[in-house]
Chain A
Amino acid sequence: MSEAILIVAGLRTHFYTRAGVVKAVDDVSFSVERGQVLGLVGESGSGKSMTGHSLMGLIDPPGRIVAGTITLDGRDLPALSAEEQRQLRGNRIAMIFQDPMMTLNPLLRIDVQMIEAILAHDDVSRATARARVREALVKVGIASPDERLTAYPHQFSGGMRQRVAIAIALLNNPDLIVCDQPTTALDVTVQGQILYQMQKLTRETGTALIWITHDLSVIAGLADRVCVMYAGRIVEEGSCEDVLARPMHPYTQGLLDSVPANNERGTRLKQIPGMTPSLLGLPPGCPFRERCAYTTRECEQTPQMRAIGGSGQAVRCFHPLIPLY
C-alpha cells in the first residue's frame, strides 16, 4: 500500500486582516499514503491547525486559500463546489479538534450529534444509523453505549468526550482523519489509551492520519513520517526515525533538545532562544534566522525545500546539519 491518498502541493492560506496579510500557511507540500500516520509538528502559531482547516475546507473569512492543490483520492478539494466539499467532509476526510470540552454542542444529546453525522452523508434509516453509532462507540472503548447515547456532553469527562469525537470521525470510515492535538487537553494516562486505540483502529481500517502536535515524544511512537512546521512553512520532512534520530534543520534540532527525555539528568533543559515570529508581514529570508545558531548572510535569502541523502528526508535550510556517518 503505497498509494498516496492525499497530496498537498504549494498550499498557501492567507488571512487578510486589517493590520495586514497573515501568511498562516505558506507554500506547504506533503503527501499521505493510505493507512499511514503523518506527524505535523511545530510551535504554537506555526500554522498547523490552519493547514488542517484548509484540508477540511473550514477556512473562514478573512482567511482564504490563495494557492495550491489539495488532492484527495484524485480530486482537487478547493476546486470542488461547496456542496461537493460538504459531501466529502466528515465522510472521506474527517477532523478531530483540540479541546474536547468545546467540540460537542452542549445542548444536544450525544445520539443526536452522532446520528446527524451519518444522515448527512448516507440515506439510511434512523435505526441503521443508531446501530452504526453504537458500534462506533464500542470501537473507541465506551462501555454501555446505550446509556451514554442519551446523555449530554457535560455529563462526560474530557477523555470520554474526545472518544465520542473520535467515534464521530470514524462513523463514515473516512480515508483520512486530521487530528489536531486531540490529546493535549487530556491527562497522560488517558492520552496513552487514546493514542493506542487510534493506532489500532487506523491499522484495522486503513484510515490515514495527520497527527498535529507540539509533542515530539507522541510522534515518536505513532507516526510513519514527520513534517516540521515553522512560521507557516514546512522546514523539514522525512521518515519518523530519520527526523528524530538525525534532525537536519536547526529548528528541529532545537525542538528535540527541548524534549526533557532527550536531556541528561541534571543538565539544564535546552530551549530555543527567542520567540516565534509574527506571521504578519514576515520579511523575506529564512524566518528562523533570528533564533538560529548557524545563520549566515546567505540566510537572508529564502531557502527552498531540498532533499538530502537518499532516504527521502528534505529540509528547508542553507546549512543543514549533515550528520557524520
Chain B
Amino acid sequence: MLVYVIRRSMQSMVVLFVMSLLVFVGVYAIGNPIDILINPQADQMDRERAIAALGLDQPLWQQYFVFVKGALTGDLVRSVVHATSALDLILERMPATMELAIAAMLIAVVFGLPLGLWAGLKPDGIAGRSIMAGSILGFSLPTFWVGLMLIMVFSVMLGWLPSNGRGPTTLLFGLIPVSFLSWEGLRHLVMPATNLALFKLALLIRLTRAGTRESLLQNYVKFARAKGLRNSRIIGVHVLRNIMIPIVTVIGLEFGSVIAFATVTESVFAWPGMGKLLIDSINLLDRPVIVSYLLVIVTIFILINLAVDVLYSALDPRVRLTDARG
C-alpha cells in the first residue's frame, strides 16, 4: 500500500512538472511574459528590475527554473491591482473557496446518494421517475441564474438569508477562517453552497441510479438473493459496496470541478474566494494573478487525483492486491 502511494505521488510529480512546463510555455512562448507578468504601468526602471528578477535575459531553460522557483516561493509575480504577491493573495482566499466547495459536495452526497439509490431500485415508480426528471432539471438549470433566483426568493422576497458575503468567520484549529461555526456564518453559507451543489447533486443521482441498476443485474446480486439474504442486506452491503467505487472516484474528481465552478457562484453571491478573485482579475487584466491561480488550481487537481487513486485502491481489493504485488 505504502509503495503504491509513493509511486502514485511520483507520477503526480511528473504530471505537475509537465503542467508547470505547459504554463511556462503558455506564458513565455505564446504570450509576451513582460506583458503578462509585469505591471503595464511600471516605469522603465521597474521593468528592467523585473526582467532581471524573472531572468528574462537568460536562456530559456534557466528562465524555467527561475519561474518554478518563483512559483514555489510565492514571490513569482506581484499582482498589478493589489500590489502584493499574487500567490499570497490566492492562498488568503483559498479557505473561503474550500469551505464553499466542501459544503456543496456534502449537500450533493447527502441528498444525491439516497435519491439515486431509490431511483435505481424503483426505476419505473412515480418517485423514481420524478427523481430522474428532477435530475434533468438540475443538469439544465444554469448555475448563475439559479443563484439569482435564490437571492430573489430568500433574500429579496422572504428576507430570510443574506444575499452576499461570507459573514463573520471563526478560526478553525486556530488558523483556518471558516463560516460554518457560527450561526450568522452558516446563514451566509447555505445559499451559495446549495447553488453550487445543484449540478453535482443531479450528477450523483444519475450516477448512483445507473450504478444501482447495473449492479442489480449482476450475478452476484442474483446469488445473494438465492442465498436468501434480506433486501436490506443485499442493497446495503452487496449493491452499495459496488457502486461506492465509481461514486467515490467521481466525488473526488468532481471536487476539482466544484472548485472551478465556484468562480460563478462566488461572483453571484460576492463570496470572497479565489474564484471571485479570478473573475475580477480577468476583468481587470491582472494577469499575474491569473497565472498564479492556474498553477494553484493545477496543483490542487493533481493532489485530488492522487487522493482519489489512493482511496480507490483502498476500496477495491482487486486493485489493492495487484498493485501490492507488482
Contact = CB atoms under 8 A, between A and B. Distances in A.
Quick check: do A and B touch in the complex, using CB within 8 A?
yes
A108 interface: yes
Contact of A108 (B218, B225, B228, B237): B237
Interface in B219-267: 219-220, 222-230, 233, 237-238, 241-242, 245
B318 A106 contact: yes
Given A103-B220, A103-B223, A86 B238 contact: no
Contacts of B316: 107
Given A102-B220, A105-B224, A117 B229 contact: yes
B51 to A, nearest CB: 58
B227 A116 contact: yes
Given A108-B237, A120-B233, A154-B318, A58 B242 contact: no
A108 B229 contact: no
A87 interface: yes
A105 B219 CA distance: 9
Chain A CB within 10 Å, residue with most, of B230, B233, B245, B317: B317
- Is the contact region of chain B dominated by helix, strand, or loop, or is it mixed? helix
Contacts of A107: 241-242, 245, 315-317
B317 A106 contact: yes
B321 interface: yes
- Is the contact region of chain A dominated by helix, strand, or loop, or is it mixed? mixed
Nearest to B217: A60
Contacts of A154: 317-318, 321
Contacts of A155: 321
Interface in B68-93: none
A15 B186 CA distance: 54
A103 B49 CA distance: 71
B318 to A, nearest CB: 5
Contact of A105 (B228, B241, B315): B241
A64 interface: no
B226 A102 contact: no
Nearest to B226: A95
A91 B228 contact: yes
Nearest to A95: B226
Contacts of B226: 56, 58, 89-90, 94-95, 97
Contact of A106 (B220, B229, B230): B220
A105 B237 CA distance: 10
Nearest to A91: B228
A121 interface: yes
Interface of A: 56, 58, 86-91, 94-95, 97, 99, 102-108, 112, 116-117, 120-121, 152, 154-155, 165, 168
14 contacts: A56-B226, A58-B226, A90-B229, A103-B222, A107-B242, A107-B245, A108-B237, A116-B227, A117-B228, A120-B227, A120-B228, A120-B230, A152-B318, A155-B321
Query: What 4 A-B pairs come out closest when comparing CB atoms?
Result: A90-B228, A89-B228, A102-B219, A90-B227
